[in-house]
């Protein structure tokens, strides 16, 4: 069996300029960042997060924990996400418009909206956890049974 020497491999690596490898790496990194920051991709993430926040809201509503402010906040977020989604769908028909939106900062608008939805969901979860903690202090057995799905809700 012929032995493979390291001489051809080292000759190949010394022939490749390091600046070219660095340029390829930088271009690949930029392409990766652009892919993850595309408005259409972020819109899908935003819609998924809103659906999860709505589920958390429904659970908290069933526990009678919410005030009118949380309901108004959810309605405002739903309207905001619907508007963003509609604009993203319209701009996705043209790659030029998508690139223009990216350059004009649409990505940052989407990231801000994603953060607002996450903050809303976190607020609702905090309300739920504080209610469960209060119930745990007063009736530990009932809370544990309810968490398992055995007791009355």
Mind spelling out the 3-state secondary structure of the chain? Answer: CCCCCCHHHHHHHHHCCHHHHHHHHHHHHHHHHHHHCCHHHHHHHHHHHHHHHHHHHHHHHHCCCCCHHHHHHHHHHHHHHHHHHHHHHHHCCCHHHHHHHHHCCHHHHHHHHHHHHHHHHHHHHHHHHHHHHHHHHHCHHHHHHHHHCCCCC
pLDDT at residue 72, as a whole number: 95
Residue 109 lies in a domain: yes
Residue 65 lies in a domain: yes
Conformation bin of residue 149: beta by default, left when phi > 0, alpha when psi is -120 to 50: left
pLDDT at residue 104, as a whole number: 82
Residue 29 lies in a domain: no
Residue 4 lies in a domain: no
Residue 93 lies in a domain: yes
149/142 Cα distance (integer angstroms): 10
Domain of 78? 39-148
Residue 74 lies in a domain: yes
Cβ contacts of residue 91 below 8 Å, gap of 6+?
39, 97, 98, 101, 106
49/110 Cα distance (integer angstroms): 12
pLDDT at residue 105, as a whole number: 81
Give the torsion sign (CA, 12, 14, 18, 20): negative
Residue 20 lies in a domain: no
Q: What is the pLDDT along the chain (153 residues), one digit of tens a residue?
A: 556 555 665 655 665 677 777 888 899 998 888 788 878 889 999 999 999 999 999 999 888 888 899 999 999 999 999 999 998 888 878 878 877 877 788 888 999 999 999 999 999 999 988 887 887 777 766 555 555 555 554
- Expressed in angstroms, the distance from the first to the final Cα of the chain is 74
Residue 22 lies in a domain: no
Q: In the chain, how many domains are there?
A: 1
């Amino acid at each position: 069996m012929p032995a493979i020497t390291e001489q051809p491999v080292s000759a190949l690596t010394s022939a490749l300029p390091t600046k070219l490898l660095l340029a390829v790496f930088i271009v690949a990194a930029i392409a990766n960042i652009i892919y993850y920051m595309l408005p259409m991709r972020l819109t899908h993430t935003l819609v998924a997060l809103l659906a999860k926040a709505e589920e958390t809201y429904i659970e908290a509503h069933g526990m009678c924990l919410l005030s009118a402010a949380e309901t108004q906040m959810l309605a405002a977020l739903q309207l905001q996400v619907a508007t963003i989604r509609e604009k993203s769908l319209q701009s996705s028909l043209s790659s030029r418009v998508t690139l223009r939106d990216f350059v004009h900062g649409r990505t940052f608008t989407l990231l801000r909206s994603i953060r607002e939805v996450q903050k809303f969901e976190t607020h609702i979860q905090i309300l739920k956890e504080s209610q469960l903690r209060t119930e745990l202090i007063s009736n530990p057995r009932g809370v544990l049974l309810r968490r398992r799905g055995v007791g009355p809700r």
